[in-house]
Chains A and B, each alone.
Chain A
Amino acid sequence: EAGVTQFPSHSVIEKGQTVTLRCDPISGHDNLYWYRRVMGKEIKFLLHFVKESKQDESGMPNNRFLAERTGGTYSTLKVQPAELEDSGVYFCASSQVGGSADTQYFGPGTRLTVL
């Protein structure tokens, strides 16, 4: 069974540009999460989809970040315009059932560098 995949693995852009990250969850997983780790700090939650609906977007830092999951399959996270402080590793995770006991399975992450 294929795991969570993310594209691209690395992205280097200049401040003010736009970047779109993609996540493909494990097949059959309705729950999809985005997290990020900035500057070697803690991994922080961004948002949670259940199918195509945003269940919780309390961790989204500001309106420069837009996440979508059209059709309830893959998800994209767009940063527009990117700022220097957006640099970090963006992780996607998916889980089957949801709920507190559910295990989230993570992808390899996308390393974003904003110059």
Chain B
Amino acid sequence: AQSVAQPEDQVNVAEGNPLTVKCTYSVSGNPYLFWYVQYPNRGLQFLLKYITGDNLVKGSYGFEAEFNKSQTSFHLKKPSALVSDSALYFCAVRDFAGNAGNMLTFGGGTRLMVKP
């Protein structure tokens, strides 16, 4: 079975400071990892994904995430937070071998609050 954990329900950061939203995963094979963001009253918006290759993945709006196989983590980062980054962030995983079909398994979400 595949699973995702987002250990923080909420992350607070001041504008201009770096931010990290944590994600750890569990799959039986190699993982495909995704980050999505949900702005208020909007749907889930794709940010970035790790498939293979470079462990540092760059995505939309200046976000990046680092795949760490030994720690089974895929933390989302941004060097300088903006107030407009305040939203709900979801990490998701899919098993490379497709053992669970094409379904994405999501974490519980982390609310990011960036204060001016």
Contacts and interface: CB of A to CB of B under 8 A. Distances in A.
Interface in B75-106: 90, 92, 94-98, 101-106
A58 B101 CA distance: 10
Contact of A91 (B4, B43, B49, B108): B43
A44 B103 CA distance: 9
Interface residues of B, number: 28
Interface string A32-59: 0101000001111100100000011011
B102 A107 contact: no
B49 A103 contact: yes
B98 A104 contact: no
Nearest to B97: A100
Going nearest first, the 9 A-B pairs with the smallest beta carbon separation are: A108-B43, A106-B44, A45-B103, A43-B106, A56-B101, A101-B51, A106-B43, A42-B108, A42-B106
7 contacts: A6-B43, A42-B108, A43-B106, A55-B102, A91-B43, A100-B94, A108-B43
